[in-house]
Copies of this chain bind each other. A is one copy, B any other.
């Protein structure tokens, strides 16, 4: 078979398989400008895949602090700047200084890209955030293909960064370049903020956003982030909230050195016994947090919100199986979603200073540190939670009448983020999803903490939306990360449709 024909047949088959798997598509193709845009994207999809392939080929790993990889990161940012300039954007490369490593070494931080297309005061200005750095990947870790060679198998584009986050960044660029290629006016002013250190904690980003607040961000109306995933294989989602996180350490100390359990066992207030009692007082076996007052500030559940969970497409049985968990704490989809998104949770992470190796050691640890954290939801506040946790642990500890010393501290306090889903961009994105996929989007939150959304909301004080493109099984951070060709191409259409809907709503 002719290789070209063969590829076409394969793509068609893959597309049919995807449809079988629960993918959504509109009943009839759109007409007018949108029709032209979609047709262009369909016809040029191999070019779009080709650019993704070129970007995936750059090993822009920000996690391993190695000069060679840092050079690749700089090369990646330069490639992106060239691409944006090619679209006619004015591009600013913001120097981000140096990264201080724990060993005293320093490495240069790749520049943050601020780019801009159009500044028509009559149009809304939409700012897109993305990142071009990736997690480490080596074929030996269990990749079936070379992680830095984008490889298509059954409609899946395998490669490190394909879904996190090079694919979504390019989908946004594809949408812009389609209007340009068709000689059409962009319906919105578009801004880009693209960084290269997200996987390493977004070094220098927050400071830069603060600095640029009254300059680059002054006329931004909406911020869109496309750095998470749908919660299903085939149904698009809009994400309007993430949980915060208060991370605690509780230290119990008798003395700095350890004891021998033969020589001292029986006459000491053992720090581990105290710590285990403290940690055991935090949460019950149903997952309910036992710290007094902790639920007081949790937003009450409204009927409208409850309906959102009902509408979400989640096969609980499949989710449970793919998680390799025998049984969850709750039996219904709605309860599961609420306990991941809209209720706080408390997890005990571990203990530092005790015996943690394999085998048997008869030690009485002299000083131990428990680590736990609470995922916060609206309208919980890190400083209130800090006070409640400290009061609770002090009460539990005082009841033990231990002669040890207890110290509690909150080492990390990240507020939860939640957007107003009535904001215009959520409406525009919902309409764009309907147009491209012929379905309502799942209205989702993320149980984890993505500080960047809250940073934009707090500093720029504008509406923030997360508009993911990737499917739940894309395997971000894992081996064999991929983005489906379908998600990548339909995602490019989604962004284009979003621009048009945004413009209509802004009138």
Contacts and interface: CB of A to CB of B under 8 A. Distances in A.
Q: How many copies does the complex hold?
A: 2
Interface in A55-101: none
A200 interface: no
A263 B268 CA distance: 40
A481 B316 CA distance: 64
Contacts of A412: 360
A257 to B, nearest CB: 7
B273 A283 contact: yes
Given A285-B273, A356-B350, A340 B267 contact: yes
A106 interface: no
A122 interface: no
Contact of A262 (B255, B346, B365, B446): B446
A255 B273 CA distance: 26
A326 interface: yes
B352 A263 contact: no
A349 interface: yes
A262 B243 contact: yes
Contacts of A403: 325-327
A136 to B, nearest CB: 17
Contact of A362 (B247, B268, B274, B354): B247
Given A266-B340, A268-B329, A273-B285, A448 B260 contact: yes
A285 B401 contact: yes
A286 to B, nearest CB: 8
B365 A265 contact: no
Given A285-B401, A340-B267, A362 B358 contact: no
Given A347-B362, A349-B365, A375 B265 contact: yes
Interface string A325-360: 111111000001001100111111111101111101
Contact of A350 (B249, B254, B272): B272
Given A287-B267, A354-B356, A375 B273 contact: no
Contacts of A267: 287, 328-330, 336, 339-340
Contacts of A351: 350-351, 354, 356
A246 to B, nearest CB: 11
A371 B261 CA distance: 13
A434 interface: no
Contacts of A336: 267
Interface in A261-301: 261-270, 272-274, 276-277, 279-280, 283, 285, 287
Nearest to A102: B359
A477 to B, nearest CB: 9
Contacts of A328: 267-268
Contact of A360 (B243, B247, B268): B247
A364 interface: yes
Given A264-B323, A329-B269, A403-B326, A277 B280 contact: yes
A232 interface: no
A343 B267 CA distance: 10
Contact of A266 (B266, B279, B325, B339): B339
Contacts of A340: 263-267
A365 B348 CA distance: 9
A17 interface: no
A475 to B, nearest CB: 13
Contacts of A343: 266
A135 B455 CA distance: 56
A380 to B, nearest CB: 13
Residue among A263, A268, A328 having the largest count of chain B Cβ atoms under 10 Å: A268
Contacts of A263: 340, 447-448
A356 B348 contact: no
A6 interface: no
Contacts of A249: 360
Nearest to A338: B266
B365 A255 contact: no
A361 interface: yes
Interface in A390-428: 399-404, 411-412
Contacts of A279: 272, 276, 280
A214 to B, nearest CB: 33
A324 interface: yes
A107 interface: no
Given A265-B346, A273-B283, 19 more contacts: A257-B324, A260-B448, A261-B345, A261-B347, A265-B375, A265-B447, A272-B279, A272-B350, A276-B279, A276-B280, A277-B285, A325-B403, A326-B403, A347-B363, A350-B351, A351-B356, A360-B411, A360-B412, A362-B448
List the 9 closest A-B pairs by CB distance, nearest first.
A262-B448, A350-B354, A350-B355, A266-B345, A327-B403, A265-B345, A280-B280, A356-B356, A266-B339
